[in-house]
Amino acid sequence: MNKNNADSNELTMLNHIKRLARGVKMVLDSMKLQPIDNVIAELNTLNTFVKVKGNSFDIGKSLFSFVEFDKNTKKLQKSVDCYMGMEESLIFCHDILSGKLPKLAAKEKAKGEQYPKAVWHSPLGGVNEQKARERKLRSDGKAISRSFNIAPGSKADFVVTVTQGAGKSQPNGIITPEGKPEVIIRVACSADNLKGLALSLKAHIEAYYAARYATNGYARAPKEVRQEQKVS
């Protein structure tokens, strides 16, 4: 093989590799842009449910979407969305899977009260005053406070309850409730169903993190690395 043919073959191979690399990049880029819109886990009763979704993973949160509907007409009556940070979500899963939450529930239920108290509470969140005003969600100038809790049930193993109402933003970012809740949705479930929700949410969060690493989602720009090396 003469030199010209060798150079030509090398150039052809190089162009092929470049096209392949561009194709791989396009696939990876399209994967990054696809939102996770599927339901990760779900708890249901005859007229209520809570769905856990991953479509907010890109902003570092998991979404718990609560709904109450008329069991005859199937029409929506109430709905509340609660967001929880990824780390908080993993701690939530750990509390369930480690047995911590079930033990607290058993201890509370042993008191014999008709309506046992909640043994786990989500962080206080919602919509601050400015956004609630801009989005015309309230007319009284107050924020919207949202949170959910888990208590042992009188019939079912657990009851997951979400509340929403007027709130006030605090300097640390949480939104504390003011007055009685304006919306309450309860979803009863078995211990196994709650454990299944935790297993699924934990698996999806870990898979999301793994996918971000696999697609260099956490890689720093070379310029930043060079600047850091110069300082050190």
Q: Pick from 117, 197, 123, 126: which is nearest to 159 by CA? A: 117
- Give, as one character, the DSSP assignment of residue 211: H
113-167 pLDDT, tens digit per residue, is 988 999 999 999 999 999 999 999 999 999 999 999 999 998 999 999 999 999 9
Tens of pLDDT along 42-100? 999 999 999 999 989 989 999 999 999 998 998 999 999 999 999 999 999 999 999 99
- Element counts in the chain: helices (H) and strands (E): 6, 10
The 3-class SS string of 147-209 reads: EEEEEECCCCCEEEEEEEEEEEECCCCCEEECCCCCEEEEEEECHHHHHHHHHHHHHHHHHHH
155-193 pLDDT, tens digit per residue, is 999 999 999 999 999 999 899 999 999 999 999 999 999
Distance CA 154, CA 159 (A): 9
